[in-house]
């Protein structure tokens, strides 16, 4: 009960502190909301591109040619048990030969083609390792796969991951700096009050808690504003984007799936954690008892 | 209740207090006097752990406060009532809120807060000013709020650092008499001052400092002119 009274008091102190800060609260929230909107937009773009690239990777195909005398179905079963494989399609040599004959004028020879397995992967970066694993499977004579394409996709994917990481780190640092400086200003403005509270025997955590809560509130309100901004952008530009992309890049637009919930969740968590963390760090640094 | 043993305090090689030995008993009332720069405020700051001595021990209620961990300092300060020359009131809070702040921060129940604050305001005769803000009060009234805040938690020791420094002689005397009444209820009271008028009016124990040294400690004493020189 006593703890509840203390927490209620801390909450009151927080709101009274924010009330005193007046319009500057909205300035801070506005700046943070802008930073988080940019962050959310970039995060969403990075994730969407990563999805697209991943889907390209899943369309890569490894062809495994089988030795004579091996049951294609049995080899296919063994391959499907390997990791990172999403689909194994059997192309019997008779079907392949008929297909070839229908497309090209070929002499009437005995069918020289082997049974073939077309293997679809889950990830582009697994092409090489999976091809090596397939090569070792009993009954597989030869393996072909689009290594250059896979490498290009992997490089692009890697670039997106690094870019996302760098941008996340930069914007987190920027948010921390804004929150930290704001709380530092609050501490400076209230330094006399803080000194009085300290001399009265008020615990440091009690003095710091309203500032930490204030930071968390700044972070969460900014995140909500950023979510509204991004939601509005999606609402107005989604159909336009899709129409444009269908004309220019049909494959890209097919894979342009971008649920925004993870981004919204990331923004809210980042806002609260960075807001509270930045305030805690600043108040710990500048409020000495 | 308060005991200093061989206390020295240096500021960048300059001695502010030199080999101070002092003992003030439970419920005792004493003045700490001396001219500006004598070391009165430094000694007071040592008592509420705003400073630590360069050497020596400072004991409050038998506990050597120089050895306290930072997290223990608030606990010490809750056992001390501190009154300041500049009152140190929270300007945006009413008299009631100022006096009740520490109780609310400690999670004391609402009814108890009202009862204890009302009682403290009664002691300083400010019951009718509970809703006033500090800037609506005279200097003497603000200092009485400071005293009410200092005693609201029932501390065994009350330290007053130049409590009359900003007040006229008549109000100063009233404030010191108020502190004397509080002492009569069993609280140890130590007042630092260089106000000869109030010290000589009360004729209580006088501890004199000069140049950082304790030069006299007299029961029913006066603030001698020589001590000020």
CA distance A270 to A172: 8
User: In this structure, are B138 and B149 located in the same domain?
Assistant: yes
pLDDT of residue A160: 81
| Cβ within 8 Å, pair B90-A193 | yes
Per the structure, the complete domain to which residue B202 belongs is given by 1-79+156-168+185-229
Q: Tell me the per-residue pLDDT of A229-271, one tens digit each, with 9 for 90 and over.
A: 988 888 877 777 666 655 555 555 455 556 778 888 888 998 9
Domains of chain A with bracketed CATH: 2-56+152-286 (no CATH), 61-145 (3.30.70.3040)
| Cβ within 8 Å, pair B80-A206 | no
Of A2, A201, A204, the CB nearest to B78: A201
CA distance B21 to B16: 14
Compute the nearest-CA separation of A42 from chain B (Å). 44
Of A3, A196, A289, the CB nearest to B73: A289
Residue B97 vs residue A55, higher pLDDT: B97
Of B77, B89, B90, the CB nearest to A201: B77
Of B70, B84, B104, the CB nearest to A289: B70
Structure tokens at A157: 């994917």
| Cβ within 8 Å, pair A201-B76 | yes
Is B104 within a domain?
yes
**Cα dihedral sign, A236-A239-A243-A249:** positive
CA distance B47 to B3: 9
User: In this structure, are B56 and B90 located in the same domain?
Assistant: no
Neighbours of A2 (CB within 10 A): 10
CA distance B115 to B111: 6
User: In this structure, are B163 and B61 located in the same domain?
Assistant: yes
Cα dihedral A262, A265, A270, A275, rounded to 10, equals 170
Cβ neighbours of B79 in A, within 8 Å: 201
CA distance B20 to B52: 14
| Cβ within 8 Å, pair A201-B109 | no
User: In this structure, are B56 and B161 located in the same domain?
Assistant: yes
Q: Tell me the per-residue pLDDT of A59-96, one tens digit each, with 9 for 90 and over.
A: 778 899 998 888 888 889 988 888 888 888 898 888 88
**Cα dihedral sign, B102-B103-B106-B110:** negative
Count: domains in chain B: 2
Whose CA is closest to B147, among B109, B107, B186, B174?
A: B174
User: In this structure, are B56 and B96 located in the same domain?
Assistant: no
Question: What phi, psi does B58 have (nearest 5°)?
Answer: -125, 115
Mean pLDDT of B208-220: 90
| Cβ within 8 Å, pair A196-B106 | no
% of chain A with per-residue pLDDT over 70: 92
């Amino acid at each position: 009960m006593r703890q509840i009274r203390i927490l209620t008091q801390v909450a009151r102190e927080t709101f009274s502190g924010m009330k005193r800060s007046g319009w500057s609260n909205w300035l801070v929230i506005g700046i943070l909301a802008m930073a988080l909107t940019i962050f959310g937009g970039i995060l969403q773009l990075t994730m969407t591109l990563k999805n697209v690239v991943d889907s390209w990777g899943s369309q890569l195909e490894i062809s495994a040619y089988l030795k004579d005398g091996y049951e294609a179905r049995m080899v296919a079963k063994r391959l499907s048990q390997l990791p990172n494989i999403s689909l194994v399609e059997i192309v019997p040599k008779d079907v392949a030969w008929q297909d070839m004959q229908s497309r090209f004028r070929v002499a009437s020879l005995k069918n020289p083609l082997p049974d073939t397995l077309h293997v679809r992967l889950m990830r582009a970066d697994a092409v090489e390792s999976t091809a090596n694993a397939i090569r070792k499977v009993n009954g597989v004579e030869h393996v072909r796969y689009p290594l250059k394409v896979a490498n290009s996709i992997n490089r692009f994917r890697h670039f997106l991951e690094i870019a996302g990481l760098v941008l996340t780190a930069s914007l987190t640092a920027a948010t921390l700096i804004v929150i930290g400086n704001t709380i530092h200003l609050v501490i400076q403005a209230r330094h006399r009050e803080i000194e009085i509270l300290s001399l009265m025997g008020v615990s440091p955590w009690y003095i710091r808690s309203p500032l930490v809560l204030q930071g968390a509130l700044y972070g969460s309100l900014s995140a909500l504003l950023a979510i509204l901004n991004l939601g509005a952008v999606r609402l107005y530009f989604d159909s336009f984007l899709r129409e444009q992309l269908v004309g220019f890049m049909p494959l890209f637009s097919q894979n342009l799936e971008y649920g925004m919930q993870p981004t919204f969740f990331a923004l809210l968590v980042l806002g609260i954690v960075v807001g509270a963390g930045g305030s805690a760090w600043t108040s710990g640094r500048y409020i000495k008892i | 209740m308060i005991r200093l043993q061989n206390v020295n305090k240096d500021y960048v090689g300059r001695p502010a207090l030199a080999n101070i030995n002092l003992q003030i008993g439970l419920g005792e009332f004493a003045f700490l006097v001396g001219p500006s720069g004598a070391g009165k405020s430094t000694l007071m700051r040592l008592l509420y752990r705003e400073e630590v001595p360069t050497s020596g021990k400072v004991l409050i209620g038998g506990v050597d406060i120089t050895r306290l961990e930072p997290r223990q300092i608030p606990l010490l300060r809750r056992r001390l009532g501190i009154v300041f020359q500049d009152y140190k009131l929270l300007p945006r809070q009413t008299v009631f809120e100022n006096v009740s702040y520490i109780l609310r921060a400690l999670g004391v129940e609402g009814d108890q807060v009202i009862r204890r604050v009302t009682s403290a305001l009664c002691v300083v005769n400010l019951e009718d000013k509970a809703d006033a803000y500090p800037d609506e009060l005279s200097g003497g009234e603000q200092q009485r709020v400071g005293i009410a805040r200092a005693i609201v938690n029932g501390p065994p020791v009350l330290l007053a650092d130049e409590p009359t420094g900003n007040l006229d002689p008549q109000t100063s005397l009233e404030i010191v008499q108020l502190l004397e009444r509080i002492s009569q209820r069993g609280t140890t009271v130590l007042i630092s001052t260089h106000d000869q008028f109030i010290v000589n009016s009360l004729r209580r124990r006088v501890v004199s400092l000069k140049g950082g040294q304790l030069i006299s400690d007299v029961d029913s004493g006066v603030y001698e002119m020589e001590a000020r020189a």
